[in-house]
Amino acid sequence: MMICFPNCKINLGLRIKEKRPDGYHNIETILFPVFLADALEIIVSQDRSPAFSVTGLNIPGDNQQNLCLRACHLMYEKYKIPPVKIHLHKSIPMGSGLGGGSSNAAFTIKLLNDLFGLKLTNEQMRNLASEIGSDCAYFIDNIPLFAYGKGDEFQKVKFSLKNFYIVIVKTQVHIDSATAYANITSSNHKYPVKEIVQLPVQKWKKFMLNDFEEYVFERYPEISDVKRELYKQAAVYVSLSGSGSAVYGIFRTPVNLRELFPDYFTWQGRSIV
């Protein structure tokens, strides 16, 4: 038996460059790990095929299509590993732009690699993860990275938010990524996110933009209200993560979230990266 804790990510800036011939979009963003996490347990099974169960937050749809199982089947096909039982306890909200499902898939690959002593390199695991989803490969290294192309090409980027507090607020809105991408146009910002992230955090407000905010905030004003409220509470920087619907804020000190957002999902923690 092995247990791990797949964490989520936030996007520091998100630029939509252009639509690709394959239907995807080229993007530029900084992916940053945040340690709001699910719990993932895998044990070797005597059954003939992998089994999957889930507790915690409800995951809509068919559990047999869960990305953990897709990752497991991929590993089974390529490496003939024995059947396993997978249990996921879900704490990262779905439809939030936090990459919880992608993280689950990547951590399934990493856990199976450890459990069966496959000795796969990070590059091999990234290649496997990229077969499941564009940002799954990010969670193999799980460090701050500049992401470009479809979001599945990476470069290291050196900066730190250590000792800042990261706050996440998600309204009851669920945003479908495909719909969000269908309603967005390409941007042409002057400063690349790789350069902006090197500025002091207090300067990000002016330059570090997420191109999905215009569409999301117009359609769901309650999400825009969250951003406004976090700035009122002295956040250094606030943004939508991914295509939403979660909004995160970066603070120098903790915030009383239960009083501010009693009806929404909230989380806060000190950054260790």
Q: Write out the two tokens for 53.
A: 């169960």
Asked if residue 106 lies in contact with residue 140, where contact means CB atoms within 8 angstroms, the answer is yes
User: Same domain for 196 and 142?
Assistant: no
Q: What is the pLDDT of residue 235?
A: 98
Question: Which of the listed residues 105, 135, 156 is the one where a domain comes to its end?
Answer: 156
Q: What is the pLDDT of residue 84?
A: 97
Cα-to-chain-centroid distance, residue 14: 13
List 90, 110, 135, 152, catalytic entry = 135
In which residue are the tokens 């699910």 written?
A: 38
Q: Write out the two tokens for 219.
A: 């359609």
CATH number at residue 201: 3.30.70.890
pTM: 0.95
Q: Name the domain count of the chain.
A: 2
Domain that holds residue 66: 2-156
User: Same domain for 213 and 143?
Assistant: no
pLDDT category at 61 given cuts 50, 70, 90 is: confident
Is 211 one of the annotated active-site residues of the chain?
no
Question: Which of the listed residues 108, 124, 156 is the one where a domain comes to its end?
Answer: 156
Measured distance CA(251)–CA(96) in Å, rounded? 20
For 252-271, the pLDDT digits (tens) are: 999 999 899 999 999 999 99
User: Same domain for 128 and 21?
Assistant: yes
List 9, 90, 110, 227, catalytic entry = 9
Burial of residue 256 (CB within 10 Å: 0-12, 13-18, 19+) is exposed
Is 135 one of the annotated active-site residues of the chain?
yes
pLDDT over 90 (residue 134): no
For 79-97, the pLDDT digits (tens) are: 999 999 999 999 999 989 9
Rg (Cα) of the chain, in Å, rounded?
A: 19
Question: Which of the listed residues 128, 156, 184 is the one where a domain comes to its end?
Answer: 156
Asked if residue 67 lies in contact with residue 32, where contact means CB atoms within 8 angstroms, the answer is no
For 14-40, the pLDDT digits (tens) are: 999 888 888 778 999 999 999 999 999
Residues 6+ apart with CB under 8 A from 155: 145, 146, 148, 194
